[in-house]
Structure 1
Amino acid sequence: MNPSDKTGVICEINGPIVTIELAGGCLGEQVKLGALELYGEIIALNGRHAIVQSYESTEGVRPGEPAVGLGWPLSVELGPGLMGSIFDGVQRPLTRIALESGDYIRRGISLPALDRERRWPFTPCADLEPGAQIEGGAVLGSVQETARIEHRILVPPNVSGELEEIAPAGEYDIESVIARVRDAQGNSHRLRLYHRWPVRQPRPYRRRDDGVVPLITGQRVIDTFFPQLKGGKGAVPGPFGAGKTVVQQQIARWSNADIVIYVGCGERGNELVDVLETFPKLIDPYSGRRLMERTLLVANTSNMPVVAREASVYVGLTLAEYYRDMGYDVVMLADSTSRWAEALREVAGRLGQMPVEEGYPAYLASRLAAVYERAGRVETLGGGSGSVTLIGAVSPPGGDFSEPVTSHTKDIIETFWALSKELADARHYPSIDWVTSFSKHVKTAAQWWHLEVGLDWGRRRDQALGLLARDAELSRIVNLVGPEALSDAQRWELEGAALIKEAVLQQSALDEIDTFCSPPKQYALLDLALHLYERGTDLIRLGVPVIELQRLPLLAKLRRLKSIYSNDQLDQLQAFRQEIDQTLEAIQLDYAKQG
């Protein structure tokens, strides 16, 4: 439809909510508003009037100015050139906008997400010939997008039929037609290196599968104690200053996913600037190349328009599903879903919708569930296997986990990494509370650990969590009556729990050696801490005073091992186990002689 046939007029403006008179408008359709040509989206229809939410500030826009319906919903461009890019909440390329507009985005500016001038080396699939029947999701060929990522050119999910022609190998820009398909109705579809897809419509797949492999993040408290499977749904709730952004950035930097999509949704500008400046300098630990070669950033800070904040999560999800459909394992991090929910609340308030819990709209829970349900491990339309792992940060006011966003999220997700302000104040990072957190993937992860790392991972993990639970009970007694009320065995339990906390759970993101911990090293550190505790327990039963064990230099050295030995120095960690045995055996012999 020609946009000039759908020209209307602005009737009323209420912040980002604009009422226009537009004949033939469709729900979800994109609209250009006023002389500034601000982009917006129709969210309600009332006869000839349409209610539009603007993605930019409407300051200076007046009633009577024109409004133009574009004929399509908010969509993203999917094709070569996405990797390494930085977009805003509606997929405008921020790097190119900065060159044209400077440090501040000029309202109404519109640049295509993908570079129209760059040419890509396209290689068609060898077994595709004209006359073949193809369906949506089939692979037409490939483009080497980065040194690590092979970008598979897919038939759009809504196109199928007979392949009329396919371009030979060569270099093409993304607007070049590389194939033609005639559908069952006789219509011919011209396929390019890219296609568009509406962000609020999940991309289809054949079948949803269960996750089987854990997402390795290199963070011990996550991988060892509360594992997340590829294709799973997780949340990182915590109050201000507890370290949510650092946890998510560590996952983005070190996870073993093929693709990482980081969505900064309404967070402070200085935090996103840190991401935008540091990520291009980081080296991927799995390939030795630049991390941005498999990373895509969507930046929408708290001072950007509130409606674009709500759209940014859907933009990130659609990009994640696109790479999933190529057969990749994608991890998407949304920081934070609380800011996204606040955008829903503001828009709902301006629309006059009935508020419920703490002013949020009644559909908050269903919207949250719909977002998280787009994660998962699937069999793609092309017959391959891919996954989207979605991890959202939640910022409950005052650290109250009973508030609506956190409580609804907790009912939906499978892995819950609850951050504690008390741990953060004690400089214990990551400040993930081992009492409140949980993972529903432990049994599946145990099978992987059994095959890949250690036979006793499940048992050792349970022993450590049991020791930490007893520590919580004993600590309450100590706070009431002091440590003298405890027996030597109980005081040694406190010492053993402290070893677990400091030698295993604590991990510095700024430590060059300890920022990333491989699964074998994680298991080795956990096993060493428990081994020292168990050998000490045997000595306590023989009558060795707990104070003598607490004075052993072994304890301080064990706490430092994580920062002394790298992931490749497992032999040195095993040598420390022998040092533990020799030292404690000497103490046992001394007490045996005295007896």
Structure 2
Amino acid sequence: MSKGTIRKVAGPLVIAEGMRDANMFDVVRVSDQRLIGEIIEIHGDRASIQVYEETSGLGPGEPVESTGAPLSVELGPGLIGSIFDGIQRPLDDIMKASGNSLHRGVEIPALKRDIKWHFVPCVSEGDAVTAGDILGTVQETEIVVHRIMVPNGVNGTVSGISEGDFTVTEHIATVRSSDGEEHAVPLMQKWPVRVGRPYLEKLSPEMPLVTGQRVIDTLFPIAKGGVAAVPGPFGSGKTVVQHQLAKWAEADIVVYIGCGERGNEMTDVLNEFPELKDPKTGYSLMKRTVLIANTSDMPVAAREASIYTGITIAEYFRDMGYSVALMADSTSRWAEALREMSGRLEEMPGEEGYPAYLGSRLAQFYERAGRVRSLGHTPREGALSVIGAVSPPGGDISEPVSQATLRIVKVFWSLDSALAYRRHFPAVNWLTSYSLYVDTMEKWFNSHVHPDWMEQRSRIMRLLQEEAELQEIVKLVGMDALSAPDRLKLEAARSIREDFLHQDAFHEVDTYTPLEKQYTMMKLVLDYYQEAVDALARGVSADKLASLAVRERIGRFKYIPADRMEQEYKDILQVMHKEIQSLEQKEDY
């Protein structure tokens, strides 16, 4: 254990002397108040420490003590439903200990030590086990079974295991290695946050993470184990999109990181999530959620750590065989924390003052996502999908954080302030967004939803792109210059925008749309367009086809519950045929 003294304090950065025996990324305790920090640079016996708590009042000469261990998180029963800060301190326990204000130097373990969990073994004495094998289970919440795994680096034969009620620090099993050494295994294990958890094999992202958001699932899907970025200016709906994904994405576990978020937005999350009902189980959404709240007024260094804390917890559940969705809101504020620490370290700045290693740090974070086969004799398949919000200043995505993120992620949901001002939500711009997973998931969509899913999607995209070209002509020479077929194209595209892509996050039915209903809605709009084109060829006026009464029912179709969808679809088609036939008869007359 290395002990030194403070030489200089510069905001969250503390320079300490006498730290020759310390290592990079060791956790240290600073001053007599025992503030928690982490070594980020070493020169000889001088260490630069980023302190995760407020440093006002510190001065030269005060003691610094290294713990000799890297910044790690506690992984075990009690994670689900908890609210942590950026370095995994439980905020509810801190409030009970010190009131509403976050006091410095508070030392409270991340997982509660007084709660007993009922452990049920699934292996017996004499069984051979290796790292990643499941020893038994704990029913953590009504909907999450916590699988207790053999810690990394431990393998051998189970020499003892018992069922019963245990705290997270009590030993539930012992494993004898080949050299005869006994390893006691508690319910809890620790893992350094900056090191990705190992796995057996990374799998191809071939299946979608179904979100129930039509613009995402249909046009720009994300794969299970995929990575997506949601950049957008202030007020364009980034946080609401992330809340929707947290509520509705087809994930077993949700990890939500409020990284440098406004306090009131985190308060909304903390108030909303316990009240939200999980659509699959009927229980509160918090029964499968871990929240990491690191608001913008908290110490800036902890903001940098919060991303790693969150993704390490997410990897732990992925290793159990769960599908995990991680929401990071927002990586721009995380990058700002990097920039501030880099400036205080007097490093050579890169573009716009960000450190030169910004791109590699972002890649280290996003590349920890993936669909994997876990370690163990009976490997499990788990997935970790990462959705990161980016807040470019002034909505300019040419800035470094957005550009570095786009070089890494494969899905880009471009939020557009112009759409948001027109009250079109989600404000995802269909002309500038993209998903590079579409081709790899074509087979899945065609086999699991409908054989011509991708064909219908292509037609929808083509109509939207052609509409953009026609709108340029309209701006130059007016609507009258368009031919009748082009006017119909604009009407069909308007129907796609208003009836299909526009989705009300606060409507009990429209907030989530199953894939089968998304396909039916696509088909309904395209059926109208095809029928109108055919009728136009038979001499019916384009204006009359655009003002069919049935279009009101097409627009309201998204509010129809899924169990009445098929009948309503047939009824609308029937009415549409009758109205078009009636128009044709009038033309003939």
* Length-normalised TM-score, structure 2: 0.97
The number of residue pairs the alignment matches comes to 585
Q: Is structure 2 residue 531 aligned with structure 1 residue 535?
A: yes
Q: Quick one: which of 91, 95, 107 aligns to 2:92?
A: 95
Q: How does 1:421-500 map to 2 (within 5 A)?
A: 421-500=417-496
C-alpha separation in 2, matches of 1:552 and 1:572 = 17
User: 1:506 — aligned with what?
Assistant: 502
User: 2:53 — aligned with what?
Assistant: 56
Q: Which amino acid aligns with 1:535?
A: E
Q: Which amino acid aligns with 1:399?
A: G
User: 2:131 — aligned with what?
Assistant: 136
Q: Is structure 2 residue 69 aligned with structure 1 residue 72?
A: yes
Q: Deviations over 1:449-491 (max 9, x none)?
A: 2222222210111001100001001111111221111111111
User: 1:151 — aligned with what?
Assistant: 146
User: 1:250 — aligned with what?
Assistant: 244
C-alpha displacement of 1:185: 5.1
5+ long unaligned stretches in structure 1: none
C-alpha displacement of 1:195: 0.6
Q: Quick one: which of 567, 575, 580 aligns to 1:579?
A: 575
More displaced stretch, 183-192 vs 49-58: 183-192
SS across alignment from 1:137: coil
C-alpha displacement of 1:309: 0.6
C-alpha displacement of 1:501: 0.2
C-alpha displacement of 1:128: 2.8
More displaced stretch, 421-430 vs 173-182: 173-182
C-alpha separation in 2, matches of 1:7 and 1:354 = 30
Q: Is structure 2 residue 400 aligned with structure 1 residue 392?
A: no
Q: Which amino acid aligns with 1:43?
A: I
User: 1:44 — aligned with what?
Assistant: 41
User: 1:119 — aligned with what?
Assistant: 116
User: 1:239 — aligned with what?
Assistant: 233
More displaced stretch, 11-20 vs 554-563: 554-563
C-alpha separation in 2, matches of 1:140 and 1:238 = 45
Q: Quick one: which of 141, 158, 163 aligns to 2:158?
A: 163
C-alpha displacement of 1:226: 0.7
C-alpha displacement of 1:184: 4.6
C-alpha separation in 2, matches of 1:67 and 1:189 = 33
Q: Is structure 2 residue 204 aligned with structure 1 residue 207?
A: no
User: 2:324 — aligned with what?
Assistant: 330
User: 1:10 — aligned with what?
Assistant: 6
C-alpha separation in 2, matches of 1:251 and 1:561 = 22
User: 1:107 — aligned with what?
Assistant: 104
Q: Deviations over 1:408-432 (max 9, x none)?
A: 1111111111111111111100000
Q: Report sequence identity in percent.
A: 49
C-alpha separation in 1, matches of 2:212 and 2:107 = 39
Q: Contact (CA 8 Å) 1:119, 1:173: kept in 2 or not? A: yes
C-alpha separation in 2, matches of 1:328 and 1:236 = 24
Q: Deviations over 1:72-108 (max 9, x none)?
A: 1110000001111111110011111122222221111
C-alpha separation in 1, matches of 2:575 and 2:193 = 58
Q: Is structure 2 residue 346 aligned with structure 1 residue 357?
A: no
Q: Which amino acid aligns with 1:434?
A: W
C-alpha separation in 1, matches of 2:408 and 2:557 = 38
Q: Contact (CA 8 Å) 1:338, 1:405: kept in 2 or not? A: yes
SS across alignment from 2:68: strand
Q: Is structure 2 residue 377 aligned with structure 1 residue 380?
A: no
C-alpha displacement of 1:329: 0.6
Q: Which amino acid aligns with 1:237?
A: P
C-alpha displacement of 1:64: 1.1
User: 2:187 — aligned with what?
Assistant: 193
Q: Is structure 2 residue 380 aligned with structure 1 residue 402?
A: no
More displaced stretch, 541-550 vs 299-308: 541-550
User: 1:301 — aligned with what?
Assistant: 295
Q: Contact (CA 8 Å) 1:267, 1:302: kept in 2 or not? A: yes
Q: Which amino acid aligns with 2:420?
A: A
Distance 1:94 1:574, change over 3 A: farther
Q: Contact (CA 8 Å) 2:125, 2:157: kept in 1 or not? A: no
C-alpha separation in 1, matches of 2:4 and 2:213 = 54
Q: Which amino acid aligns with 1:272?
A: M
5+ long unaligned stretches in structure 2: none
C-alpha displacement of 1:556: 2.5
SS across alignment from 1:436: coil
Q: Contact (CA 8 Å) 1:238, 1:244: kept in 2 or not? A: yes
Q: Which amino acid aligns with 2:278?
A: D
C-alpha separation in 1, matches of 2:224 and 2:144 = 18
C-alpha displacement of 1:590: 3.4
Q: Contact (CA 8 Å) 1:256, 1:286: kept in 2 or not? A: no
